[in-house]
């Protein structure tokens, strides 16, 4: 299992919140899996496949755990990826997971969880806005277009 440094998680968090400098840091430090993880959380199947193909299995399980996949959560626990499991649980509304991360001095994962949760809510708000709804309708038509 790949361990990430505190600066790496902090840049991931800032990238989730839209910080361009953190995107540049992620790219220059060869952590493209963070970009793929966020895109996968946002339902990009190609990004999820990138995680699998490049053996970022913990991050792929993290993405699935965010979407309430109990098997993914159990995988994270079995792999001793407790920070990622707790981070996913915070996103799913588990206050005890936040307390756990604070207790083991991994507050940076708490901040990451809240950033991802905020981004998910932001995406949801966009999808129900008039512009977002129109975009979704156009994508829906494209999905059924014959090639």
The reported pLDDT for the residue numbered 126 is: 47
pLDDT of residue 138: 54
DSSP character string of 34-99: HHHHHHHHTT-HHHHHHHHHTT-HHHHHHHHHHTT-HHHHHHHHHTT-HHHHHHHHHHTT-HHHHH
Q: Is the pLDDT of residue 30 over 60?
A: yes
In angstroms, the CA 37 to CA 87 distance is 13
> Is the entire prediction scored with pTM above 0.85?
no
Ranges of each domain in the chain: 6-143
Handedness of CA 51, 115, 125, 93 (dihedral sign): positive
pLDDT at 1: 76
pLDDT at 112 over 50: yes
Q: Report how far residue 127's alpha carbon sits from residue 147's, in angstroms, rounded to the nearest whole number.
A: 26
Instruction: Using alpha carbons, list the distances in angstroms from residue 34 to 10, 67, 103, 104, 140.
Output: 11, 17, 25, 23, 28
Q: What number of helices (H) and strands (E) belong to the chain?
A: 10, 0
């Amino acid at each position: 299992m790949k361990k990430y440094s505190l600066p790496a998680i902090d840049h991931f968090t800032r990238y989730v919140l839209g910080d361009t400098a953190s995107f540049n840091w992620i790219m220059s430090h060869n952590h493209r899996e963070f970009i793929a993880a966020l895109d996968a959380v946002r339902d990009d199947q190609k990004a999820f496949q990138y995680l699998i193909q490049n053996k970022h299995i913990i991050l792929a399980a993290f993405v699935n755990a965010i979407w309430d996949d109990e098997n993914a959560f159990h995988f994270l626990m079995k792999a001793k990826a407790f920070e990622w499991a707790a981070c996913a649980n915070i996103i799913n509304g588990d206050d005890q997971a936040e307390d756990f991360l604070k207790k083991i001095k991994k507050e940076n994962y708490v901040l990451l969880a809240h950033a991802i949760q905020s981004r998910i809510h932001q995406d949801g708000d966009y999808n129900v806005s008039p512009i977002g709804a129109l975009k979704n309708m156009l994508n829906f038509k494209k999905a059924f277009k014959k090639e």
